[in-house]
Amino acid sequence: MLTERRRTLALRTCVLAGRLLIENGSNMERVNDTIERMAKAAGLRQFQDFTTLTGLVLGSDNLPNAQVANIRRRQNNLSKVAAVNEVSREFTAGLLQLPEAYAQLRSIDRQKAGHWQNQFEALAAAILSAVLMVVFTGDIVDWWLAFIAGGLSYAVFSFIVRKFKIQYLGEFCASIVIGLIACEGVKLGVATNADDIIIGGVMPLVPGIPLTNAARDLVSGNLISAPTRGIEALLTAVAIGSAIVLVLRFE
């Protein structure tokens, strides 16, 4: 027989796992699957879950109250998703006890990025821009300007998101930087094709995770989460596009 305290802890563990998964960009089917398995392993009977992109509600038959978590900020950190997955797998296999699983989830929640993480990401974005520009357009001479545009714009984007915590405007400002670099490069005569540089430069900002998750949620029949993810992807695309149009209008 489970004590009241243990049942409450089990429900709180499930809420924490679900919140971590949604916050870090997992798809909804995976979230529901993970928390249902964990609840079953923890011994909660008649477990019910209701998950959306901005919050989740969990309840069990033998507990009087449901637990709610609000999700304000979403980011893309798939290593946290993998870590939560690992904890849930060990817990359902019986290798971890409930308090240990809760403590491990708390430590995943508190995990901070490394010291050089932002510089490393900007470098990755720069390489991504240059490589994808060559793949998509076959234009080889302008690779170095796409490298600079991609890296600098991603640095601006991550700075704005970290410091001011505003979604969509980070992409907007970063795209303005890309447009300015591409147009000035062509104007100064060091580059040949502004379009190619812009296509390469915007690739790190393209909403890949929301788009994939929207598709997968739609296929699995989650009609609340899928359109919301789609709108998220659409808003990001509109922010990028309008910034580029703004630059092209004044150049």
Partner 1 sequence: MSWTNLLLQFILSYISTVCFGVLLHIPVKAYNASGLIGGITWVIYWVMYYQHHCGLAISNLVAAILISLFSMFAARHRKMPMIVFNVPALVPFVPGGQAYKMVRNFAIGNNHLVMVYMYQVIVIVGAITLGFGLGELMIRALGYLKKLLRKRAGATR
Q: Which residues bind partner 1 (CB under 8 A)?
A: 25-27, 30, 76-82, 85-86, 89, 113, 120-121, 124-125, 127-128, 131-132, 134-137, 154, 195, 198-199, 202-204, 206, 208-209, 211-213, 215-216, 218-220, 237, 240-242, 244-245, 248-249
Between 13 and 27, name the residue whose CB sits nearer to partner 1: 27
**To the nearest whole angstrom, how small is the minimum distance from the Cβ of residue 5 to partner 1?**
31
**To the nearest whole angstrom, how small is the minimum distance from the Cβ of residue 156 to partner 1?**
14
CB atoms within 10 A of CB 179: 27
CA 28 to chain CA centroid, Å, is 13
In angstroms, rounded to a whole number, what is the distance separating the alpha carbons of residues 38 and 81?
Answer: 15
Between 71 and 248, name the residue whose CB sits nearer to partner 1: 248
**To the nearest whole angstrom, how small is the minimum distance from the Cβ of residue 178 to partner 1?**
10
CB atoms within 10 A of CB 228: 19
Alpha-helix runs per DSSP H in 65-116: 78-92, 98-110
Between 8 and 212, name the residue whose CB sits nearer to partner 1: 212
Between 35 and 63, name the residue whose CB sits nearer to partner 1: 35
Q: Is residue 48 within 8 Å of residue 58, measured between CB atoms?
A: yes
Return the DSSP state at 167: T
Please report which helix (H) or strand (E) contains residue 207, including its range.
Answer: none
Strand order in the sheet with 48-52: 48-52, 55-59, 67-70
Q: What length is written for the chain? A: 251
Between 60 and 157, name the residue whose CB sits nearer to partner 1: 157
Between 48 and 76, name the residue whose CB sits nearer to partner 1: 76
**To the nearest whole angstrom, how small is the minimum distance from the Cβ of residue 237 to partner 1?**
6
CB atoms within 10 A of CB 161: 18
Between 52 and 220, name the residue whose CB sits nearer to partner 1: 220
In angstroms, rounded to a whole number, what is the distance separating the alpha carbons of residues 76 and 195?
Answer: 28
CB atoms within 10 A of CB 191: 22
**To the nearest whole angstrom, how small is the minimum distance from the Cβ of residue 205 to partner 1?**
9
Please report which helix (H) or strand (E) contains residue 240, including its range.
Answer: helix 225-250
**To the nearest whole angstrom, how small is the minimum distance from the Cβ of residue 30 to partner 1?**
6
**To the nearest whole angstrom, how small is the minimum distance from the Cβ of residue 11 to partner 1?**
23
In angstroms, rounded to a whole number, what is the distance separating the alpha carbons of residues 26 and 30?
Answer: 7
